[in-house]
Structure 1
Amino acid sequence: MVRPLRIGWRYLYESQKKLFGLWTGELTSALLFAVLWIWYIKAFPHLAFYLTIFSTLYVFIFLEFILLQGSLYWFWKWKRLSQKKDSHLPSSYIQLFLFFKKVNKILLAIGLGVFIYHCIRYGLKGLAFFLGLYAFVWIEYINYYRVRLSYQSPSEIKEFFKQKGFKRSILAREIDKNQRV
């Protein structure tokens, strides 16, 4: 049984607005990165090597995959809140993110092999670009599945300093809670 939310309309509105911004922001980032990637290949042929070799394509596609996971997560939370339900996702949804988490771990491990492949095949050429993207993938993974790394508004930054360190991400807490039940 789903109980209606008993919170103020202003809090509900602000929460919906924030969740809407999160899911559309992640989706926009994923789409814009893909469009820019393709545009850069066409507009700057001298960069094509860096953008089209296997190693950078691997981490770029992996980054897109994680951004889309984030967008889906925030979308489902926004949708539930918009339907006047609590924002906690049902177990079946959390199971999907648990599956994504396992796939991400495998893909991160494969990324180490891709790093070795890149070093053997290309040496230092394009390595900084690859490592920058790979670091971005790790940061996004950690931000969603471990600890919260992104603090955007002044109030969130103040909250970060008050809490004296990082706290578990919302998705990580939902996964933990779901596994205990």
Structure 2
Amino acid sequence: MQNSLIKELKSLYTGEGFSSVMFFLIWLYCCFNHEYQAIAVSFHVAFPLITLCFMLAVGAFFWKLMYDVVKKRGKMHMTIEQQRLFILFKRVSIVLIMICSMLFIYALMAGEQYFMISAFLLCFAIVEYINYFHIRLSYLTPREFGALLKHRRLRRSHLNRIMHEEVID
């Protein structure tokens, strides 16, 4: 059980971290490639992409913390400093998503090109925000998905549960 949890947590933090870095590197590549430069430097595309990278990096950081705790055979708790840091991440995420939403509305009203890419990135960032800070949206195994259908209610995300439990020091 412990080994499978360690493998899952390692997979989560490496996957989220890799995604964050790769999205950013692809964006940088597009910024310097004349073929894609117009898309990459469009503020209503660049800002949601950077927001998404931030969200994925937050997820990678959380799963890495949990991986380190489980590897040391500890219980998954956060210190007060870690809780405050993730509350700050949550607030920053909300502000970034609000800015992205305003940029998307502006792009839509101004008839800017590439607003569908902007919409996709904004939706992806919102889904990641909900998945990390509110309710769990990913149910990986058939058993988890079956429990979701049976009980007809979504579970709070792991980060949400840990952020709001008793603090240890």
**TM-score normalized by structure 2?**
0.89
1:12 is matched with which residue? 2
Larger mean Cα displacement after TM superposition, 147-156 or 73-82: 147-156
Q: How many Å apart are 1:44 and its aligned residue?
A: 7.0
Task: Give the residue type in structure 2 aligned to 1:16.
Answer: I
Q: Distance in 2 between matches of 1:158 and 1:147?
A: 17
Within 1, Cα distance between the matches of 2:83 and 2:15? 21
Distance 1:118 1:124, change over 3 A: closer
The count of residues paired between Structure 1 and Structure 2 equals: 167
Task: Determine which of 38, 46, 58 is the counterpart of 1:49.
Answer: 38
Of the candidates 79, 88, 93, which is equivalent to residue 82 of structure 2?
A: 93
Tell me the distance in 2 between the aligned counterparts of 1:87 and 1:165. 24
Identify the residue that residue 29 of structure 1 maps to in structure 2.
Answer: 19
Map 1:94-133 → 2, pairs under 5 A: 94-121=83-110, 123-133=111-121
8 Å contact 2:48–2:97 — kept in the other structure? no
Secondary structure at 2:19 match in 1? helix
Aligned position for 1:82? 71
Counterpart check, 1:173 vs 2:161: yes
**Aligned partner letter, 1:24:** T
**2:47 corresponds to 1:61:** no
Q: Which structure 1 segments of 5+ residues have no match?
A: 1-10
TM-score by length of structure 1 reads 0.83
Over residues 79-132 of structure 1, what are the superposed CA-to-partner deviations in whole Å (9 max), with x where a residue is unaligned? 0111121122222212110111111111222222212332344x1521111111
* Partner amino acid, structure 2, of 1:171: L
Change in 2 beyond 3 A, CA 1:94/1:60: same
Unmatched segments (≥5 aa) in structure 2: none
Match of 1:152 in 2: 140
Distance 2:53 2:87 in 1: 18
% identity of equivalent residues? 28
**Secondary structure class of the residue paired with 2:164:** helix
Give the number of the structure whose alpha-carbon radius of gyration is greater: 1
Name the aligned partner's letter for residue 18 of structure 2: T
Q: Secondary structure in 2 aligned to 1:177?
A: coil
Judged with a 3 Å threshold, the aligned counterparts in structure 2 of structure 1 residues 102 and 16 are, in CA distance, closer, same or farther, namely same
Aligned to 1:5: none
Supply the distance in 1 between the matched residues of 2:89 and 2:106 (Cα, whole angstroms): 25
Aligned alpha-carbon RMSD (Å): 1.9
